[in-house]
Structure 1
Amino acid sequence: MIQAVLLDLDATLLDYGMPAWRATVRAVCDALARSAPDLDADSLHGAYTRRYLDHMRAGGDGAQHPPGRIPDADSIWRECWRQALDEYGHAELARPATDEYKRQRCRRYVLFDDVTNTLSALRSDSYRLGLVTNGPGDAQRDKITATGLDRFLDLTVISGEVAVSKPDRRIFEITLERMGLGPADVCHVGDSLVTDVDGALNAGLGASIWLNRSRMVRDPQLRPPSHEITSLHELPALIREGSA
């Protein structure tokens, strides 16, 4: 019987996608251009975007670094801004750019409209709730705090803090050990077939639940989830009825 529900953060609970991120970068570039008239906001936007996306493609969740040497998001963002601004002779603006970037990000952090009611229902049904997410610890914890998710969670495990990321089974094993539960006691819910579903299957959890908000067609080459839902509103009944 399922005793705890593990959830992914980005694109599962948090609605902060590419449009919101690009709007964040745009707001920072516009603010910098106002303070330094020789800066071109459009050019700076392109320069920062290239550097940050290159970093993410290289493995930006921090899990590739050994424990104790994992960079936080603040230092990553500051270095990307420094490099972008250095092209225009304004590397000294990297710190204020990073501070503004963090403010603009937090302004745009919002939960999907099915999150709060679903988590409240699961808590009312006495399920323990955990968050298992890839990313730098400071960035992910800022998202949790800014959206008020922390009031629902019994546990948070972040790849950048434990130096292992989904779909590696070890991040789930760390979570289970901290919760004092076995794999069969827990299900995991997430939007990614690659990191969330595969991760839950790798760890042998009681159920792997794919949140397919966009109703995309599953790649037949990827392992199927235990269950597929299109809204978190479906989750409490699925678990309550013992289907998960």
Structure 2
Amino acid sequence: MFGTAPGSDGTRIPTHPLGEVLRTTGEAAATGVAAGDLGPFDEGKIMHITTRVAGIAMVAALGLGLAACSPMTAAPEEDTSAAPTEETMDPAFDNLVGDGCAAYAEAVPDGGGSIVGMSQDPVAVAASNNPLLTTLVAAVSGQLNADVDLVDTLNGSEFTVFAPVDEAFAKLDPATVEALKLPENAALLASILTYHVVPGQILPSNIVGMQTTVQGGTVEVTGSGDDLQVNGATVICGGVATANATVYLIDTVLMP
């Protein structure tokens, strides 16, 4: 079980096999214990070396195991971008232009007067639900002048409507508004109203240029993107869809 090795006095002494193994493999040096330090039957040192070698082997094996279990690639980063809301995904928002659209959508987020709500009704009905168009609705429905009622006409075909908001009518001379209420001025009122209507639906991408109105005259649309004008009137929010018309809210009443 044990071998012998020459002693310092020339005699041979028994040795433990582990000392020879450590000397031949170099592992004794790796553990910090020289092979020559192993004396005859030095069981304490042998056990110390054995324990350290086993510990090193265990650490190495554990390191390999952890490396094998580690992911090879980093986990994908979570997308933190805001998902589009149900409202902004609705097709009714696709063609909106004008600096006032966002404010209007925020002020009227739901109901018949909202961007989505208006898209589901004929134009005269949609306008009646819009809180900015109360005066225009009164003018086209016979409330301003009993002899002028364009509701069925507006709902009966496809149109592009330049719709003056209430503040636009407020710019008019009050005497002019009063005069338009008179029966003898019904034709004049109808002429003014139909001057704001163009046959067929025209989206913002095609609206720039000269447009012929139902009244027979022409209006000129200029600008681009969110900065559009109609005969100089600013488009507050355009491309508003209704069931049969495309509406452009404007800040001034157009005169033929």
Higher share in helix: 1
Q: Taking structure 2 as the reference length, what is the TM-score of the superposition? A: 0.24
Higher Cα radius of gyration: 2
